[in-house]
Amino acid sequence: MAVLLVPPADPEPWPTLGPQVCDLIEARCVFGPGSLKGQPAVLADEVRALIYRAYELHPRSSPRAGRRRFSRFGYSARKGSAKTEVLAWLAFAELHAEGPVRFAGWDAAGQPVGRPVTDPYIPLLAYAREQVEELAFGALFLMVTEGPDADLFDAGLERIQRLDARGRADGKAVPLSGSPNARDGARTTFQGFDEPHRLTLPSHRDAHETMLANIPKRPLEQPWSAYVTTAGQPGQHSIAEDLHGEAQAIAGGDVARPRLFYFHREAGLDNDLSTHEGRVAAVAEASAPHVAAFSDLDEIAEQWERPGADLQYLERVWLNRWTQAAAQAFSPGRFADLIRPGYRIPPGSLVTAGFDGARFRDAAGLVLTEVSTGHQQLWWRAEERGQLEGYEVDPGEATEALAAAMERFTVWRLYGDPPHFVETMGEWAGRWPDQVEEWWTNRRRPMAEAVRAYREAIEAAQLSHDGDADFARHVGNAGKRLTNLRDEDTGEWLWILGKLHPDRKFDFAMAAVLSWRARLDALRQGATVPDETFVPVRIR
């Protein structure tokens, strides 16, 4: 099982209104559409924990005491996890006239006390008009009409109004499709995005930006947003993909003060999806305990066996994986198996090097490969992290790193992709004329053959590495880009490396491919460490 939880739980829990919100839901709300329709709501432990985190507040000692810690909450889980129901429960609490969802003060024990929102306005966005009633708004409609507090609401298919003590409208929730105009969400106090992995069109992104821009308009009510989603298709630039990327940046330490709380669960990479048992185990890993308990895991796993089944789709929705194995150039799981803990290339070893990258708002890396063992080491790296404006790789640092490698090891060849470092590589070639060689990665057939050789080396366990996290991330980020060339022996289409997503860099992986290509050439030519010259000295 792989879980992305950001920010991670702190040793000292933050104050939270979560317990009060959960109590309200279980006392005054019901299950939405489905087998438990209309029955009293019961929160699973995982859902309860997420609500606790989503309603965390700044502590009494903070200048922001009592204000919400997070302005956005993302919940990513596999298909069939009742995520829409969770979003509807949150909307119910935010709309309810007694919902303890905003800070009202501290009790005698120093715990926060909640109050309802004043004049709530809650837009619930779906990707298409015909889906509005099927998703969160439809679930909320059932909850308020069939729950014990039905008399506190005036519910219709166009809006659900909260009523005050005299029966007057006192706030509302409304359904929105993927293209709300600028007025939509103008008084927002809470908003929900259902299935944002489907929000991929420019109009969807515009709607999302409009709705986020409305959030600061009600500062006294501390508006916030919630997203519930399944993993989407990489490269579609969906709202969910942006959210997942932001969460990864938080996990990488690139966001100093995160306002996003995000939870994502997916199947790990250890299970063999070619077997029924492996698929059952993978689906179980992607499921929360309460979801696995009521799921028919065997039936889900059997979907892979159907002729013509879309395996990438099944992997995405049932295993909740953003990066499908079929779209990746290299297997992250197999690459992880090749870690050789603690091993460093010994000084004086015969090595080859690969260099790739770009100077502006990108990354660059230098990977060494020990010729005798095939062990790879990310020797030097530079990478933009956190979307810094004007970021530029320092060519001088790359030169210093290469000089250090030349001094420490016997470098047979460095293969470098020169377009973005023309002057730098020219300087290197002048300084080490027999060891630095331009290797243009835009030559499709040589590049495809080099990538295939590296992929085969990974699959056959011919290489190893030290488990560097950045190196592994770049290898996992590398995707396939088909060419119009065929393999001369098999007739299969050749492919080169490409991005799975514009913001997912794979320069270190490209450097590794070039370094491996150089190693193969070194072996083919019988390269060895030159014998040291012996000069006899007369002893007097």
Long-range contacts of 398-404 (CB under 8 A, 24+ apart): 398/355, 398/364, 398/366, 398/424, 399/424, 399/427, 399/428, 401/366, 402/353, 402/355, 402/366, 402/428
pLDDT of 273-303, one tens digit each?
889 999 999 999 999 999 999 999 999 999 9
Smallest CA-to-CA distance from 27 within 121, 93, 125, 110 is with: 93
Write the pLDDT tens digit of every residue in 188-202: 999 999 999 999 888
Domain boundaries, the chain: 2-266, 276-327, 335-524
* Rounded CA separation 146/386 (Å): 47
CATH number (3.40.50.80, 3.30.450.70, 3.90.1150.10, 3.30.420.240) of 335-524 reads 3.30.420.240
Q: What are phi and psi of 502, to 5 degrees?
A: -55, -30
CATH code for the structural domain at 2-266: 3.40.50.300
What pTM was estimated for this model as a whole? 0.71
Give yes or no for a contact between 119 and 172, defined as CB atoms under 8 angstroms apart. Answer: no
Q: Is residue 82 over pLDDT 70?
A: yes
What's the pLDDT at 384?
A: 78
Distance CA 82, CA 79 (A): 8
Best CA proximity match to 68, nearest among 83, 53, 56: 56
Q: How many other CB atoms are found less than 10 A from the CB of residue 438?
A: 15
| CB-based contact 387:395 (threshold 8 Å) | no
The token pair at 533 is 């010259």
- Average pLDDT, stretch 93-103? 98
More confident residue, 395 or 323: 395
pLDDT in tens, 401-429: 999 999 999 999 999 998 889 999 999 99
pLDDT tens column, 248-276: 889 988 888 899 999 999 998 778 888 99
- Please report which confidence band the pLDDT of residue 326 belongs to, taking 50, 70 and 90 as the band edges: low
Closest to 77 in 3D by CA, of 317, 237, 256: 317
Residue 363's contacts (CB-CB under 8 Å, 6 or more residues apart) are 357, 381, 382, 383, 384, 393, 474, 505, 507, 508
- Does residue 540 register a pLDDT over 50? no
Q: Band the pLDDT of 533: cuts 50, 70, 90.
A: very low
Residues 6+ apart with CB under 8 A from 354: 366, 367, 369, 414, 415, 416, 510, 511, 512, 513, 514, 515, 516, 517, 518
- What is residue 534's predicted lDDT score, i.e. its pLDDT? 44
